[in-house]
Amino acid sequence: MSELSGAVVLVVGATGGLGSRIADQLTAAGATVVSSGRISADPDALLADLRDRAAAASIVEAAVKRHGRLDGLVIATGVVAFGPIAELKDDTIRELFDLNVMAPIQLVRSAVPYLAASAVAGREPFIVTLSGVVAEAPTAGLAAYSASKSALNSFTQAATRELRKPGIRFVDARPGHTETNLSKHPIAGTAPLFPAGLDPDAVAARIVRAIVDGERDLPSTAFTE
């Protein structure tokens, strides 16, 4: 069991449909949440555009400066693009990998020293990533997006092994299509007609429960039980 009461947790992407719900539920569980997003009406949120390679480190450092430590990192940010691979532009593919792969890696790298210090202090630090169901089942019409999320999942699997010794726990979540606005705001293409998706409040609750219960992996089946 992980104790969330008093834990300092940075939620990147906290202005999104799923990230905002995770942030709210962490707060309800007693965590001190530092929210970050590209735009936000919250005056206390850390604003940064993760397309800027320096943004990840600045967000993490600002969170630590604000509260003196960091006990958790939730990466709930990312972009999607639809359409046949032959029609996707190079810039679109680069943006997919910059925001879905490079930015999370940079956030993790920046947070590791502070999370390791949290473990030394006797707390139970964690990192949550959201690679999604396409990391398990790459999807036609979403080839580049699937590839970016599969890369993120591969990173988390390897990093899980590396960071076990310093006491940092990874939780990679792979929910299916969830009823947020992500698919309505792609960086390219138009979303197909999806069947009804998962309830984002239920998805967020399952992720927070995994944090509390000490789970290390949330496959797509964990959200349909």
Query: Under a CB-based contact definition with an 8 Å cutoff, are residues 7 and 71 in contact?
Result: yes
Distances (CA, A) of 161 to 7, 68, 93, 106: 23, 27, 29, 18
Q: Are strands 217-218 and 46-47 parallel, antiparallel or unpaired?
A: unpaired
| Predicted TM-score (pTM) of this structure | 0.96
pLDDT in tens, 98-126: 999 999 999 999 999 999 999 999 999 99
69 contacts 5 by C-beta, under 8 angstroms:
no
Confidence at residue 1, expressed as pLDDT on a 0 to 100 scale: 52
Could you tell me which residues come within 8 angstroms of residue 164 by beta carbon, excluding any fewer than 6 positions away?
none
In a domain, 3, yes or no: no
| Sheet with 32-37, edge to edge strand ranges | 46-47, 32-37, 8-12, 72-75, 126-130, 169-173, 217-218
Supply the pLDDT for residue 181.
85
Does residue 130 contact residue 78 with C-beta atoms inside 8 Å?
A: yes
Helices (H) and strands (E) in the chain, counts: 6, 7
Residue 116 lies in a domain: yes
Flag whether 161 is in a domain.
yes
Please check whether residue 44 lies inside any domain of the structure: yes
Q: Could you give the number of structural domains in the chain?
A: 1
Segment 160-213, tens digit of pLDDT: 999 999 999 999 999 999 999 888 899 999 988 888 899 999 999 999 999 999
- Pairing, β 32-37 against β 217-218: unpaired
The reply to whether 125 falls in a domain is yes
pLDDT of residue 11: 98
Q: Is residue 179 part of a domain?
A: yes
Give, in order, the Cα–Cα distances in Å from 50 to each of 11, 108, 166, 213.
13, 13, 27, 30
User: Phi/psi at 217 (nearest 5 deg)?
Assistant: -155, 135
Domain containing residue 191: CATH number: 3.40.50.720
Range of the domain at 165: 8-223
Q: Say what the alpha-carbon torsion angle 9, 10, 12, 14 is, to the nearest 10 degrees.
A: 60
Mean pLDDT of 208-225: 95
Which amino acid is located at 50 in the chain?
L
